[in-house]
């Protein structure tokens, strides 16, 4: 019978996937300055697309929720990159 010398899956996944707490301060700050505006823009765009006033489907922002989320995410990223010091 052959013995497997592979490491347990939980240990290999822990060492390969960095968490936000294990990153250095500069990387963590950069990640949060990008992720927070992206998440805010995506959620606001999805809400605008879901509760929008366009019922015909011709409005690019409010015809579907996912298209509004994409536009909102792009605007959130533009805001994040535009406001960096």
Quick check: 40 pLDDT over 80? yes
Quick check: 15 pLDDT over 60? no
pTM summary value:
0.63
- Structure tokens given for 55: 């019922």
Q: How far apart are CA 82 and CA 37, in angstroms?
A: 11
pLDDT tens per residue, range 51-79: 887 777 678 777 788 888 999 999 999 99
pLDDT at residue number 39: 93
Q: Across all residues in the chain, what is the average pLDDT?
A: 76
Quick check: 4 pLDDT over 60? no
26 — pLDDT class (breaks 50, 70, 90): confident
For 82, what's the count of Cα atoms within 13 Å in the CB-facing half-sphere? 8
Alpha helix positions (H), the chain: 9-16, 25-50, 65-82
User: Do residues 69 and 32 lie in contact, with contact meaning Cβ atoms separated by under 8 Å?
Assistant: no
């Amino acid at each position: 019978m052959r013995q497997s010398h592979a490491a347990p899956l939980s240990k290999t996944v822990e060492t390969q996937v960095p968490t936000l707490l294990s990153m250095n301060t500069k990387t963590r700050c950069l990640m949060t300055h990008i992720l927070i505006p992206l998440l805010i823009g995506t959620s606001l765009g999805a809400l605008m697309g879901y509760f929008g006033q366009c019922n015909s489907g011709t409005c690019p922002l409010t015809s579907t929720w996912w298209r509004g989320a994409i536009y909102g995410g792009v605007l959130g990223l533009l805001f994040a990159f535009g406001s960096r010091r």
